[in-house]
Chain A
Amino acid sequence: EAGVTQSPRYAVLQEGQAVSFWCDPISGHDTLYWYQQPRDQGPQLLVYFRDEAVIDNSQLPSDRFSAVRPKGTNSTLKIQSAKQGDTATYLCASSFPGEDTQYFGPGTRLLVL
Chain B
Amino acid sequence: AQSVTQPDARVTVSEGASLQLRCKYSYFGTPYLFWYVQYPRQGLQLLLKYYPGDPVVQGVNGFEAEFSKSNSSFHLRKASVHWSDWAVYFCAENTGYQNFYFGKGTSLTVIP
Which A residues form the contact surface with B (CB < 8 A)?
A: 3-4, 31, 33, 40-45, 48, 55-56, 91, 93, 100-107
Contact = CB atoms under 8 A, between A and B. Distances in A.
Interface residues of B, number: 23
B88 to A, nearest CB: 9
Give the most central of B43, B90, B99: most A CB within 10 Å: B43
Contacts of A43: 44, 90, 100, 102
Interface of B: 4, 9, 32, 34, 36, 41-46, 49, 90, 92, 94, 97-100, 102-105
Given A42-B90, A56-B98, A105 B43 contact: yes
Given A40-B105, A42-B105, A102 B100 contact: yes
B46 A101 contact: yes
11 contacts: A4-B43, A33-B100, A42-B90, A42-B102, A43-B100, A43-B102, A44-B102, A48-B98, A100-B98, A104-B45, A106-B43
Contacts of A93: 43-44
Contacts of A3: 43
User: Top 7 A-B pairs ranked by shortest CB distance?
Assistant: A42-B102, A104-B43, A104-B44, A106-B43, A43-B102, A42-B104, A105-B43
Nearest to A104: B43
Nearest to B32: A100
Contact of A45 (B32, B41, B100, B104): B100
A101 B49 contact: yes
